[in-house]
Every structure is written in C-alpha cells, then in structure tokens.
Amino acid sequence: MKLSNLALAICLVLTTAAQAQTKRTDLSLSYSFIQGKLKDAAQQISTLIAATPPDKFPKTFENGQQKFSNSSWWCSGFYPGTLLYLYEGTKNDTLLTLATDKLKPLAKEQFNKGTHDLGFMLFCSFGNALRLTGDSASYKDILLTGAESLASRYHDRQKAIKSWDWGSWEYAVIIDNMMNLEFLTQATKISKDKKYKDIAVQHANTTIKNHFRKDYSAYHVIDYNKETGAVSRKKNHQGAFDESAWSRGQGWALYGYTMMYRETGEKQFLKQAQHIASYILKHPQLPADLVPYWDFDKEKVPATSKMYKNKDLRDVSAAALYASALLELSQYTTGKEAKGYLGAAETLIKNLSGDPYLAQDGENGGYILKHSVGALPLDSEIDVPLTYADYYYVEALIRYQRLLAGKSIID
Ligand code: GLY
C-alpha cells in the first residue's frame, strides 16, 4: 500500500471509531477533541505528580512555587479525584494506582468532625474510587464513617449543616456546603439508611429559604442564631461586598441544586437551578467567552479598596464549575432551554481548552488551567491555578465524553 493510501485507511478507521462513539447529533464538540483534551490533561498533570510529596496534597502554584496542604485542607480530595477522572477518560492504569496511593494519607479525614467540607475531601476522592473500581471492601466503610462525621454537624434548630467552627460566626452556613450534600445522598444509597439523604434535603430546603436574593443570586454566608436558629446575618466572606454576587458561590449553588434534583426528583430543586443558571447566563457582566469575572458586581468595588487593582480578574474555577453543572442541567430540561445550557457548557469547555486559560505542557506547575481566584478580599490565591478548577474541568470533559458515547451523564 502506498503511504498516502495507508494514511487514508488509518484516517477512515479513526473516523469510523469516532463516529461509533458519537450517538447524539446535538453535540458540537467531537469525540477526538474531548479525547485529545483528556490526553493533554493527563500529560500536563504528570508534572504535578512528579512534584507532589507522598503525604501532601496540591493546592496551587504561585510565584513559581508549588503550594501543598495536609489532608485536612478542604481541597485535599480534588487531586486524587482528578487523577481518577483522568484514569476514567484515558484508561491509563498508572493514574489509578497514583490516585489510590493518594487515598491512603487522606483516609483519616473520615473521623474529622471539625469541617463541613467532607464531601469535597472524601466524596470527590473515595466516592469516585468506589464508583470506578467497585471495591467496597476498601472504600465503603471509609465513606460511611465520613458521612456520619458530616451528619454530626447537622442541627435541627437551624435545619442545616454547620459550615465553620472558627471566628466570630455563631452558626455559619456557606453556599459551598450545597456541594457536600451529594456525599450524604450517596451514603444513603450505600447504607440504605435514609437519615443522610433526609439531612441533605432539609439543608437544601433551608438554603433555598435563606441564602438567595430576589434575583436568585446567593449570599456566601448565612449566620444563624445559635439558640433560636433564626437568621442573624447575611454576608459575603469571599465576594466583593455583602450584597455582591461572588461568581464561584453562584457556581456552587447551580451545581448543588442541579445535583439535588438528580438525587431527589424534587421539582423545586430543578426550578432553583434554572433560576440560578438564568441569573448567571443573562448577567450583563458575563463576558462573551462565558468565563466570569471573580464577582458579578466587581464594577462596584471602590477605587479605594485594596481589591480594586485586581477587580477585573476572571475566575476560571467558577467557569469550570459552571461548565460541568450546565452540562448536567441540560439533561434535565428540554427544547430551547436545554439547548441553551448545552451550548453554554460547550462554549465554556471549548474556551477553557485553549488560550489564555489552558496551560502549555510543563508550565503552570503541572496544573491544567490558569487564572483562578481563591479569595480576593482575603488577598489569597489571586490569578493562580487551583486544584478544584482542574477537577471540575476534567469532570466536564468526562461528562461530555459520556454524552458522546450515548450514555447518561452520571454513572
Ligand atoms: N469553599 C471555599 C471556596 O470556594 O473558595
């Protein structure tokens, strides 16, 4: 066979393989595009793998320096979770081994009753490990002990899981806490004990009641009275000011209510997710590439504020979260609305997968995405890569890959 004929034959085989994977006609990103991005991400993370000490967890790469945490930091589950998603996407067994090795120093957090972040820490990691390996002997007890630790933070007076135990907060509940509820609904599936899911539903109901403004933007923190359970303060800890809409907070809300609709079939959770999506997608401050500024109200930051010089920064972590959540929301809605969510998710995936957001091979400390903002008012993690931005970006790629293969978005 002549070389040009051989090339043509290979091309035909590859095209047929890709077409066999593409069962849906409404998707604009191709199988080879998504596969290519997963492969590139696995290549990129090898730099971070090489830099990560055995007992530490990646946080960020700042001023040319790697920053790691111990297992008790809220982000410790994202790195093993990302490795697991990349294993799922590439079928590279080395990634599975690296991920499961990383679970060992994380396992002790199952006993941690001092934080609400156990969903991020244990479900993104051990939850994905159980889903992908089916190894209940290794993971089931850890997950259930962790869920019990999380459930211990629920109190009937506030009808919500307490987020923080520090500072002058009485009983702080943050919008981010919506993300930890999936851990509880899964614990009910594993244990057949409905108490975990009941807590999740109650927390989500309380959050609908107290966390949202009339326009469906969310406050970051609701502080409840310790004795009476009444709302005592509505605040923004990581947003620009108390009445602003912190972009990642809106993402936690969007993802949280979409997921809670999946887990319960409760129509009011779907409606809430639709309202939040509409707030985000119709916001006049949302840039054309859909990667949000770190706060939707950044224009109201006064020139005298220390935040002012950085007020125009984007937050890629929020964008990655929106991409994954909107992809899922598109599956629970119909017609023009579903098409809108799917189109927005595709735009986000496409834009995050290139300049200026995607890191070049070997740069950015081995993190996949650049340009996230941790907490501008706290002067922390400003315009840096963040482990959770990578996690939700890779999750969006995996979800899209499943849709291309004609599967449901979630296992
Ligand atoms: N959960 C903290 C954050 O979103 O930065």
Give me the DSSP letters along 240-275.
Answer: SSTTS-BHHHHHHHHHHHHHHHHHH--HHHHHHHHH
CA 64-66-68 angle, 5° bins: 155
Amino acid at the residue 167: G
% helix / strand / coil in the chain, to the nearest 5? 55, 10, 30
Backbone angles phi, psi at 342, to 5 degrees: -60, -45
Residue pLDDT, tens place only, 57-74: 999 999 999 999 999 999
Q: Give me the residue label for tokens 């959050």.
A: 207
Work out the average pLDDT over 383-409.
Answer: 97
Per-residue model confidence (pLDDT) at position 411: 85
R_g (Cα) of the chain, nearest Å:
21
* pLDDT recorded at residue 22: 54
Ligand 1 centroid to residue 237 C-alpha, Å: 10
Q: List pLDDT tens digits, range 190-224.
A: 999 999 999 999 999 999 999 999 999 999 999 99
What 3-state DSSP class applies to 196?
helix
Classify strands 160-161 and 154-155 as parallel, antiparallel or unpaired: antiparallel
Q: Are 261 and 273 in contact (CB under 8 A)?
A: yes
How many angstroms separate the alpha carbon of residue 9 from the centre of ligand 1?
50
- The mean pLDDT value for 148-167 works out to 98
Ligand 1 atom closest to residue 374's alpha carbon, by position in its atom list: 5
Confidence check: pLDDT of 403 > 80? yes
- Residue at token pair 């300049």: 355
Q: Work out which ligand 1 atom sits closest to the CA atom of 120.
A: 1
| Annotated domain spans of the chain | 31-300+307-405
Q: 259 pLDDT exceeds 90? A: yes
Question: What pLDDT band is residue 19 in, cutting at 50, 70 and 90?
Answer: very low
Q: Residue 1 pLDDT more than 90?
A: no
Which one of 40, 93, 176, 242 is the catalytic residue?
Answer: 176
- From first CA to last CA, the distance across the chain in angstroms is 43
The CATH T-level fold of domain 31-300+307-405 is Glycosyltransferase (1.50.10)
Q: Does 7 have pLDDT greater than 50?
A: no
Look over the chain and give the mean of its residue pLDDT values, rounded to a whole number.
Answer: 95
pLDDT, average across residues 168-188: 98
Residue 391 CB partners (closer than 8 Å, separation 6+): 78, 79, 81, 82, 85, 124, 320
| pLDDT band for position 25 (cuts 50, 70, 90) | confident
Angle, helix 267-281 to helix 335-352, in steps of 10 degrees:
50
Instruction: Kindly state if the Cβ of 176 falls inside 6 Å of ligand 1.
Output: yes
Helical residues (DSSP H) of 282-315, grouped into ranges = none
Q: Could you tell me which of 107, 24, 62, 57 has the C-alpha nearest to residue 373?
A: 62
What integer is the mean pLDDT of 116-130? 98
Q: Tell me the pLDDT band of 248, cut-offs 50, 70 and 90.
A: very high
Other C-beta atoms within 10 Å of 143: how many?
Answer: 24
Catalytic residue among 26, 55, 101, 117: 117
CA–CA separation, 314 and 297 (whole Å): 12
Any binding-site annotation on 101? no
* Residue 248 assigned ligand-binding role: yes
